[in-house]
Structure 1
Amino acid sequence: MRRTRTRTALVAGAAALCLGITSCGSDDAGAGGSLEAPGPEALEGQDGPVQVEFWHSMDSTNGQVLNGLIDAFNAEHQGEIKVTGSFQGDYDTTLAQHRAAIQQGNTANIVQIFDLGTQFMIDSGQTVPAQSFVDKDSYDTGPIEDALLNYFTVDGQLRSFPFNNSTPLMYINKDAFEEAGLDPEQPPKDLAEIREYAEALTVKGPGGQVERYGFGAAVYGWFIEQFMARAAVPYCDNGNGREGRAEEVLFDDPNVVELVEWWQGMIDDGLAAPLGRNLDDAQSSFTSGRAAMTLESTGAMGGFLEQSSFEVGAGYFPLIHADDPAGSIIGGASLWINGQGHSDAETRASWEFVQFLLTAQSQSVWHAGTGYLSVNTEGYDGPEASERAAEFPQFSVAADQLANSETNINTAGCMMGVMSEARMTAEEAWEEALVTDTPAADALTAATEKLARKIDEYNASVG
């Protein structure tokens, strides 16, 4: 099952995210709606079912599983609440649609927004903080995965509800490992081991042409965020933007420079496939057997198992150094409930639906059907998830990785209004170092300075 991922910037200019939205930076609801969670009495005395519009980015198999959950909820609340799901496109498109809806005063009741949009969603001042619902109902967040709560908690408040979340893993061709005399139950744990394994896994034909690379993965900005977190390096300043507004990114850190130089050396020595930034090419390189190891999201697990002619193994995302403290950050999206412009009945009905999605039963169905994490850890014990894990034990690796991850500022991830542009800028610098004569340190430093201007623009736009 493939997850929906963004590859483009949110908007052309960073400041454009908030310019033109008068409520950006505001903590009040303005006219027509409350940013405080209503109680269950808000649903009393309704003439018909309360209509809830849900904008999301789930299509194909993921969309089918989500629609099944929506139908199940509507059947349980027939005559009281009716949820209508509406696919808006990929993550970038959904956020752009939501931004336009804010300007028009016509937002959906619930919107699914990817992790990089978190700071903008807070700044827009449109949504009821998730913490308000938790406090109103004394809702027990205990079963929710700690790493996810850590990411979506800002200034001590849970701002949105985790839903379709993932973490990257190391995937291996177990058949190739056995052929090379390597233990397929022991994937490499750090960059040095990846190189050592790649030397054994790489196969060259007559004339030295590579027939199988030991390693091959996309130049994907999310991986830099992950490597930094696992090395206990914040991605941006001011406590990853959680102790004050981020003013600069730190991806010119020596650890990142070392990572990019290592990557370049692997390609130069014919041990890693030069795949660039195209995620589809990187996936195909692995499933075709051209690269024996790769890095990808848990959301790619289903597709890898279905499309590969060899046995697929999975291990923890690697460290830069063997003695790095590890830790793991998440990807994917969360659910935001709009308050401004909506009645208390609609807001309460939206919360009832979100609670349904977070139950162990729903998460068992969701995890088994899509490959995303079960954000409710009790969901892994559900019949659907248990059956899936028994058939494909690789699915449990991501849950184990998160369970063994410390929750701290570094693993919380950077909170910044231009995170999407930061990710793309990091990728551009990374690729520049790989395909030109520009040293990695110079490319990353220039990218850091370039992004600083966009951060300043965004911060100025929200006051």
Structure 2
Amino acid sequence: MNKKLLIFLGVLIISTMILSACKPAAEPPAVEEPAVEKPAAEVEAPPAPEPEETVKIDFWHSMGGDLGGVAIPQMADDFNASQSKCFVEPIYQGSYDDALNKLRASLQTQDVPAVMQLYDIGTRLMVDLQMITPVQEFIDKDNYDVSDLEPNVLAYYTVDGKQASMPFNTSTPMLYYNKDMFRAAGLDPEKPPRTFEEVWEAARVLTQKDASGNVVVSGISMSIYGWFFEQFLAVSGGYYANNANGRDALATEATFNGPEGVAILDWWKGMWDEGLMGNYGRVNADVRTAFYAEQTAMFVDSTAVLRGAMDTVDGKFEIGTAYLPRPNEAAFDTSGTIIGGGSLWIINASTPAEQACAWEFIKYQASPEQQAYWHTMSGYFPIRDTAYDVPLATEWREQYPQFKTAVDQLHIAPNNRVTQGGLIGVFPTARQTIEGAIEEVLAGVATPQEALDKAAKIVTDAIEEYNISMGLTD
């Protein structure tokens, strides 16, 4: 599409920055010819006006399972039925990385979607490749009211003071725990641990061993996931990158190897060394499976998995939810979690008419009713406050009261540079580099400081290479 894109494609191949969630859509609505009455006089009538043509757009998404096969097609159908000017066809593109690679290929033929869902960590990249029209342009043109939208959620996708994309699937991590195990261990199930130390102490009590000393129930488990490290860093008040997470100015250096990051891995490694921490590798689903099988008493995961967890356990035991633990109580007032998930982007290689329809679709998805539906189908946050008042959403929270923890956690977080998250163009690489560092620490190959220093050097080099390739620095 442009010089930056072509240069970046080479960088992608060399440095592997991008490493490796449908219902058939109905046909666009037919436009009926307007009926024209034959004039009484013999004078020839003027020709009937041509019917307005429906603009068809593609919506690329990465939602699998029921979300991609039921929820998103239903939302598209609702939009298509709500008006006749635009018709959106949702098309599943595989993983976020798959979708990004397909977008890159489609730009060569101009066969591009008008609107696309992409993960949060692709924000800097999408802006720098200059392949999008910021939704801020449509917000300003429409005088669209954003006062009801969650400010902490909007802030993540705000770059250089402009709303780059519209949040769509939004979540944060929280602590899940087995209340029955808490009761059996003499712990108060209504007072879950809040700090790193309290988690460690609870894990000691909750861990169960057999007669041979083998662990049969881990006190806590976490997958080795870079997103979790980012979140623990944020609730600790630490920056992932310099220049206030790349929000005040372009990020040029990784800074997650500071004392906040080291303390996280010291805590993680300490519980592992004591035999309190279950290690199921990098796969989140494996940790959830262990929790469902009552092989671990606590685990950390996205707020979006709550509904699936409740449905899977199905009353076998009582699930509790708690805020993501932080280093101390004071941190609850000064820092908070970062939102994760994805957002909707308008692709500027599509025509002006297609982009206008993309904006109409995005606005429709942000409506209270659609956000309530998406919230109840997926477990993601509504991005709009008034969506919580829609009866569908109210009934859902009555069925899943544990979700109140997720909402409260979002709302107590201050909106600052820490909670807005890191803004770097090589986040996929950075995330996997962190995961390798965690594995080295747990294996005893490196200390937390050594592993994070090494990881920070790798990520800093990648940031520098990215910034140069994109023409962002000399």
Q: Same fold (TM over 0.5)?
A: yes
Alignment equivalent of 1:330, drawn from 328, 339, 348: 339
Q: Does 1:418 align with 2:423?
A: no
Partners of 1:294 and 1:414 lie apart in 2 by 24
Asked if residue 189 in structure 1 is aligned to residue 189 in structure 2, the reply is no
Q: Quote the Cα distance in structure 1 between the aligned partners of 2:190 and 2:12.
A: 43
Map of 2:118 onto structure 1: 113
Q: Which residue of 2 aligns with 1:67?
A: 73
Q: Which amino acid aligns with 2:414?
A: E
Q: Give the Å deviation of 1:343.
A: 2.3
Offset at 1:11? 4.8
Of structures 1 and 2, the one scoring higher in RCO (CA 8 A, sep 6+) is 1
CA drift at 1:352: 0.7
- Aligned residue runs from structure 1 range 369-408, under 5 A: 369-408=377-416
Does the aligned pair in 1 maintain the 2:335–2:418 contact within 8 Å?
Answer: no
Shift of 1:15: 8.1
Q: CA deviation at 1:176?
A: 0.5
2:208 corresponding residue in structure 1: 203
In structure 2, how many angstroms separate the alpha carbons of the residues matched to 1:103 and 1:299? Answer: 36
- Aligned CA distance change for structure 1 residues 46 and 181 (closer, same or farther; 3 Å): farther
CA–CA distance in structure 1, aligned partners of residues 459 and 343 of structure 2: 26
**In the TM superposition, what is the alpha-carbon distance from 1:222 to its structure 2 partner?**
0.6
Q: Which runs of 5+ in 1 are unaligned?
A: 1-9, 18-43
Query: How big is the shift at 1:350?
Result: 1.1
RMSD, aligned CA: 1.7
Partner of 1:273: 278
Task: State the Cα distance separating 1:245 from its structure 2 match.
Answer: 1.6
* C-alpha deviation, 1:183, in angstroms: 1.5
Matched residue, 2:322: 315
Aligned partner of 1:5 in structure 2 is none
- 1:139 matched to 2:160: no
In 2: Cα distance, 1:366 partner to 1:137 partner:
24
Contact 1:15/1:458, CA 8 A, preserved across alignment: no
- Conservation of the 8 A alpha-carbon contact between 2:17 and 2:428: no
Deviation digits for residues 29-58 of structure 1 (CA, Å, limit 9, x no counterpart): xxxxxxxxxxxxxxx987321111100011
CA–CA separation in structure 1 for the residues paired with 2:225 and 2:258: 17
Q: CA 1:48/1:152 → structure 2, altered by over 3 Å: closer, same or farther? A: same
Q: How many residues in Structure 1 have an aligned counterpart in Structure 2?
A: 426
Q: Report SS of the residue matched to 2:277.
A: coil
The DSSP-based 3-state class of the residue aligned with 2:419 is helix
Per-residue deviation at 1:258? 1.5
Shift of 1:16: 6.9
- Partner Cα separation in structure 1 for residue 306 and residue 357 of structure 2: 34
Provide the rounded CA distance (Å) in 2 between the counterparts of 1:315 and 1:13.
42
Q: Counterparts in 2 of 1:169-248, with a 5 A limit?
A: 169-248=174-253
Paired residue type of 1:55:
W
Question: Which residues of structure 2 form unaligned runs of 5+?
Answer: 1-10, 19-48
TM-score computed with the length of structure 2 as normaliser: 0.87
Question: Among residues 76, 84, 87, which one is paired with 1:82 in the alignment?
Answer: 87
Report percent identity of matched pairs.
38
Counterpart position of 1:51: 56
Instruction: Give the deviation of 1:215 after TM superposition.
Output: 0.5
Could you say what secondary structure the match of 2:402 adopts? helix
Residue equivalent to 2:361: 353
